[in-house]
A and B are shown apart, each in its own frame.
Chain A
Amino acid sequence: MRIILNNSSMVPIYEQLMDQIKNEIISGSLAENEILPSVRSLSAELRISALTVKKAYDKLEEEGFVVTVHGKGTYVAATDKQLALEARKKTVEDDFAAAVQKAGSIGLTKDEIMEIVRILLEE
């Protein structure tokens, strides 16, 4: 597992950790049933508190990405990759929706919005 954390980011550390583990699961670099590092060893490696790692693991379990077997460790769950990808697509759509709404609130027209998107895509 290759995790890079940004300590000065506004995104909480446990969320950064969750996102990166999710990415590895979706991309397949973490295979189903593979064991994740123990909470303490990952916290030592990343130099963050163990509770932060535990929080990330707990939330990943809530979302069905991993399973923790008490006394044994945390494993990558059998996830439906298609479903996981859909979920991520949904968050992108939500971000777009918010941007469109903001654009509407300051009176940008549909063409103007499309123009912004076109410029962004060309960059």
Chain B
Amino acid sequence: MVIIDNLAKNYGGFRLNVSMEIPNGTVTGIIGKNGAGKTTIIKAILGLIRPDEGHVTINGIESTALSGADKAGIGVALSDSGFSRYLDLKDVICILKKMYPTFDEDFFRKSCAAQGLALDKKLKDYSTGMHAKLRVLTAISHKADLLIMDEPTAGLDVEARNEILDMLRQYLSDNENCSILLTSHISSDIESLCDDIYLINDGKIILHEDTDTVLSNYAILKVNDDDYEKLDKSYILSTKKENFGYVCFTNEKQFYVDNYPDIIIENGKIDDLILMMTGGK
């Protein structure tokens, strides 16, 4: 269980200030635009940066005081694997064996073969997709109870993204109690994998909701100027002016479906959430 209590970090004009919780056995997603503070949160959890204020604890231990053994119990995939480009997979296996006492070499070799990662190819000759797969496989091959992934699917084509998500799904299914924290700006990844979503913008959490609730209760209403005047705006979270009238974002879809049968109502997607909650007025 990861608890982030009033974490604050200042970078010049940017201030991150968040509190969140990742309970055991859940998949939590952090979404937000580039520069919103997603990676800073991950670095703080891993003890790679010192918080200016507040605390981050993993299973009760302050993240800046995690021992090597504690860290070996976490599977991490950051934007760079950290392996020298002049190594090949055989070298990587030697490193991982030393680093993680619980490293499952057999699983790692089999998964690499299944994902088409050649054992004797230098990492500098890997494609973007192969690097991404290697990062994820590194994180999931030592039976960690907590996986922390910073943009595991960034920059990949749809097929490679799916393969990575399927690896994570398989891991979740094989390790019933493990939790994952991942960041992404690709909303379909979050929708199909995460139980819980935090939307952050400019260093602050602006929304925290179950994925399920977002998909079933949030909606986009499209109304013309006349209808907009008549609309009960009690449950409208944000509104944007468009050529035809207004686009409104609500977290009470059923209310508008029942009371305004004639207006256009579309299911809320996570992309809408980001656009309407960070850009709307």
Contact = CB atoms under 8 A, between A and B. Distances in A.
Interface in A24-54: 38, 40-41, 43-44, 47-52
Interface string A68-108: 00000000000000000000000000000000000000000
Contact of A49 (B166, B173, B195): B195
Nearest to A54: B195
B195 A12 contact: no
B196 interface: yes
The secondary structure that dominates the B interface is: helix
Given A40-B176, A44-B170, A51 B216 contact: no
A38 B210 CA distance: 20
Contacts of B192: 47-49
Residue from B166, B170, B173, B257 having most chain A Cβ neighbours under 10 A = B173
A51 B210 contact: yes
Interface in A4-26: 8, 10, 12-14
Given A10-B267, A12-B215, A38-B176, A50 B170 contact: no
B172 interface: yes
Nearest to B215: A13
A13 B169 contact: no
Interface string B196-235: 1000000000000011100110000000000000000000
Given A50-B195, A51-B196, A41 B212 contact: no
A20 B20 CA distance: 35
Contact of B169 (A10, A12, A43, A52): A43
A14 B173 contact: no
Contact of B212 (A8, A44, A47, A51): A51
A40 B215 contact: no
A40 B211 CA distance: 15
A44 B169 contact: yes
B74 interface: no
B176 A12 contact: no
A41 B170 CA distance: 8
A10 B218 CA distance: 11
Nearest to A39: B176
A55 B203 CA distance: 32
Interface of B: 26-27, 165-166, 169-170, 172-173, 176, 191-196, 210-212, 215-216, 257, 267
In the A-B complex, list the 8 residue pairs whose CB atoms are closest, starting with the nearest: A44-B169, A12-B216, A51-B195, A40-B173, A44-B173, A41-B173, A47-B192, A49-B211
5 contacts: A12-B212, A43-B173, A49-B192, A49-B193, A51-B195
Given A43-B173, A50-B27, A51-B195, 14 more contacts: A8-B267, A13-B215, A13-B216, A38-B173, A40-B172, A40-B173, A41-B173, A43-B169, A49-B212, A50-B172, A51-B212, A52-B211, A52-B212, A55-B212
